[in-house]
Structures are given as C-alpha cells and as structure tokens.
Structure 1
Amino acid sequence: MPPRSRPRLIITENRPGARWRAVLLVLVWIATVAVAAWSGARWASPDAGALRDGLDALQEEHAKSLQRIDRLIQKQTTLERSAQVERDAARALQDTLAERDAELASLRNDVAFFERLAGNTAQRQPLAVHSLSLEPLGDGGWRYLLILTQNLKKAAISKGSFTLQVEGSQGGALRTLEWTDLVQKPDAAALPFSFKYFQQIEGSIALPPDFIPHRVRVNVRSNQGQTEQVVPWPDASSSGVS
C-alpha cells in the first residue's frame, strides 16, 4: 500500500488592525467628499442668505404691485360707471331740451296764429284751410288734424262739411283714394264743422298696404261757398298753408 500523504498546513499572519484601517479609510473618504461638497456649495453661493432675503423682498413688492393694480382697476371701473352715468344724464337732458324746444316752437306758432287771427292788423280772410298735419298710427292708419279758420270782421258762424282725398300711386299707376276709401265705409258722409273763428278737427284714415301717397286734397263746403286745399304728404308741421 502506498504510504498516506500528510496534510499540508498553511500558516497565515493574523493582522486585526488591517480591517479597521480599511473602514477608517472609507470613513475619511466619505467625510472628505462631504466637506468638499459643502465647501463647493458655500463657495458657489456665498450670498445664499442675501439672495433669499432679496427673493422675499421681491415677492413682497410683487404682492404690493398686485394690490395697487387691483385698486387701479376698481378706480377705473368706478370712473367708467360715473362717465356712463354722466353720458346718460347728458343724453336725457338733450332729449328734454329738444322736447322743450319743440313745445316752445309749437307755442310760438299758436301765438302767431292767434295774433294773425284776432289782431287789429290781421288780414281779413274768409273760410280757409289753415293747416293739415298727419301722423302714422301703424298698419296703414294715419291720424290727421285739420284746422279751419276765418277772421272776417263781424264774422258769422261758418257751417259746412269737409272730405279728404289722397292722391298717389298703386301698382305703378296713379290712383286717387276717395273719402269712402279712406274711412273704409261705402256710405260715409262728409264730416261737419261749425265755428266763428277757427276749429280743430281730428280723425283717422287708412291707406292700402301698397299705396304710395303723394298729396292730400281737402274739400270744404260751407255757407260761404266751396274751397279746396292741396297739401303735400305728409305735412306734419304746416301752418298757414296756401
């Protein structure tokens, strides 16, 4: 039998301090890296505190600016509303003044009318059509106001009747609407009147939808005779037409 081989013994040197030195080197490296990082950040931003203070100041100023903007917007809105109120008031005042001017003009016309009618120097005239005004009512309807006058010295009462005719065109052809057409009554009679100096007569007439009026013919019959007056359409402000 071959002889048994003897076990080989390996002898190593036990160095417990080597492991601790490795751990210490790692800790030193970590500390060095941390110090280097802190130093880098410190040198890269030496005034970080001042920057934070400046940023806080900017944010505070920004907030104040926003507040000032809000106040300015509110002030502008208030001014715009005040301006609108003033414009509305001015427009209303203009409308009122226009109405007053129209009323004054009407009163002046009335005064002049009465002065001409009753004044000592007024020209003496027999029965006549003083004016005819027309105002639309809608749907082809028109309101008329007829004023008949006379100012003869020691005039007696004028009695009679009148009718209206409207001359115009319809469907491209000339046409005259008679009194019965205007009041839409086939048997309509002339309207009566009776006065010593003047009389206002109101009424309404109707026109066909496709009728275009050109003029109005006023026919008056009285105990003084017959008179006829042609008035352009419409004549809403005529006075003393001839």
Structure 2
Amino acid sequence: MPQVKGSKQYHMVVVPHRPVRRALIIVLLLVAAGAAVAASYYWGYHQGMTQQADAVAERDRLREEVSVLTRESEELRQQVANLRLGSEVDQQASDEMRKEVIKLEEQIAALEEDITFYRGLMAPGDNNTGLTIGALNVIGTDIPREYEYKLVVQQLATDHQVLSGYLNFNVVGRRGEQTETIPLHELSSQVDNEDIRLRFRYFQNIEGRLTLPEGFEPERIELMAQSTGSDRKTVEKKFGWLVQEL
C-alpha cells in the first residue's frame, strides 16, 4: 500500500467482543454501589437511635430527680406541720424550735424552686421555649471587692437537642461621673474572652469569682446569650447589683 510522505501511521489492534463479561462488570459495579448506600443508611439509622436512647435516658433521670425532690418537699412540709401543731399546744416553744421551723421552710422553698426548674425544662410553656437566661446570684466574700457569681443558662424544650452558642456578661456601673461597662473577662481570671462558650442539652452553670477595680461602683449586670445553628435565638436580661452575704 503506498504511503503518503509525512503522514503518521496507526497500528490497528483486534480485540475479542465479550458482551457477557461487560454486562457482568456493570452488574457487579451496581451491586457494590447499592451495598455502599445500604451501609450508609444503616449506619445513620444506628447513630440516630443511639442519640434518641441517650435523650430518653436523660429525660427519665430528670423525672426521677423531680420525684425525689417532691417526696422530700412533702416530708419537710409534714415536719413543719407537726412542729407548728406542737407550738400551738405549748405556747412556751423554745427558740430552737422556731429556728428549726424557719430552716425547714427555707429548705422547702429551695426544693420547690428546684422542682419548678426541672419541670420547666421538661414541659415548658408554649410561648417560652428555647434558650433562656435563668437565675443569677452574686455572693460577697471575705476579700474586699471580690465576689462569687453563679449563673444558670437553660434550654426550655419538649425535645431537647444539644444547644450551642455564646454568652456576653457585662458589669455596668460608674467611675466618678462616667458610666462604664466592663466585660467579665476583664474582672475574672477564669474567663478568657468576651464570648463565653455555651454547649448543653438541658442547662449550663457559669460560675466563678470576679474582682471590681478601685473606684468603680457597680449598678447592674447585663447579659446577652445567643444560640447558633438554624434555630438561632438571642435573649437579653438585666439584673440589679444585689449582693448576698455569706
């Protein structure tokens, strides 16, 4: 066969035609892809069931705590009733008995507050769900201008998922004639930055010690908490500067 000068020549290769082998390879690839999809589905299903079981166990634990607290509250109420009845019979009741009554009533109030707190976590009102700022306590210490703080941030929901977000904690007051706002991380060595990280399912306690600078007179505490994610929520709350003594 004559060749054209300068043109590139290609070698032809003859291969056998195997349609059955090609079809078998395609079937095997489809089976492997189906197995991978099924494995992914069952792995995700197992993970979801595990998380649901953890949430149910945590809910049952909280219900048991509410039941125990309710029983203790009723027992203390009965003790108070018995002591009051004895006091009415004997008008010369001792100071020790009256102090015991006061102590028991304080314990009842604390237990009822805990019961209300746990019940609110498990069955909140329809218009009061999601991220919520709870109680704040500022407690004096033996060291001048040094205080303990205890704050509860909670999630009110009927189906609790892990909530993430951050909290800003600022002390507002006056230094001379000027109003001044000081973030918590400048007052407490236990806080690293302005945004305090939040991550919890039911509630999170934020506590530590803060020291006020000389010349600064506090007036209130301003809090702002924000959750992240698709159901983002921002809540703000202000507390007057009220110190509980030890």
| TM-score in terms of structure 2 length | 0.52
Asked whether 1:234 is paired with 2:242, we answer: yes
Matches within 5 A, 1:39-188: 90-119=94-123, 123-137=127-141, 138-183=143-188, 188=193
The corresponding residue for 1:11 is none
CA shift at 1:119, angstroms?
A: 2.8
> 1:92 and 1:169, CA in 2 relative to 1: closer, same or farther beyond 3 A?
farther
CA shift at 1:217, angstroms?
A: 0.7
Secondary structure of the structure 1 residue equivalent to 2:116:
helix
Secondary structure of the structure 2 residue equivalent to 1:216:
strand
- Distance in 2 between the 1:93 and 1:211 partners? 44
- Distance in 1 between the 2:133 and 2:115 partners? 18
- Distance in 2 between the 1:230 and 1:164 partners? 10
Q: For the Cα contact (< 8 Å) 1:126–1:152, is it kept in 2?
A: yes
The percentage of counterpart residues that share the same residue type is 22
Q: Deviations over 1:184-211 (max 9, x none)?
A: 5896353322211222222221112332
Q: What residue identity is the alignment partner of 2:198?
A: F
195, 198, 203: which one pairs with 2:203? Answer: 198
- Distance in 1 between the 2:103 and 2:177 partners? 39
Structure 2, gaps ≥5 residues long: 1-92
Query: Radius of gyration: which is bigger?
Result: 1
> 1:184 and 1:115, CA in 2 relative to 1: closer, same or farther beyond 3 A?
closer
Q: Deviations over 1:23-65 (max 9, x none)?
A: xxxxxxxxxxxxxxxxxxxxxxxxxxxxxxxxxxxxxxxxxxx
Q: Deviations over 1:138-169 (max 9, x none)?
A: 32111111111222232321112223111111
Q: What residue identity is the alignment partner of 1:152?
A: A
Q: For the Cα contact (< 8 Å) 1:125–1:150, is it kept in 2?
A: yes
The corresponding residue for 1:44 is none
| Equivalent residues, number | 148
The corresponding residue for 2:224 is 219
> 1:128 and 1:235, CA in 2 relative to 1: closer, same or farther beyond 3 A?
farther
Secondary structure of the structure 2 residue equivalent to 1:114:
helix
Q: What residue identity is the alignment partner of 1:99?
A: K
Secondary structure of the structure 1 residue equivalent to 2:121:
helix
- Distance in 2 between the 1:153 and 1:172 partners? 48
- Distance in 1 between the 2:194 and 2:152 partners? 19
> 1:211 and 1:184, CA in 2 relative to 1: closer, same or farther beyond 3 A?
farther
CA shift at 1:132, angstroms?
A: 1.0
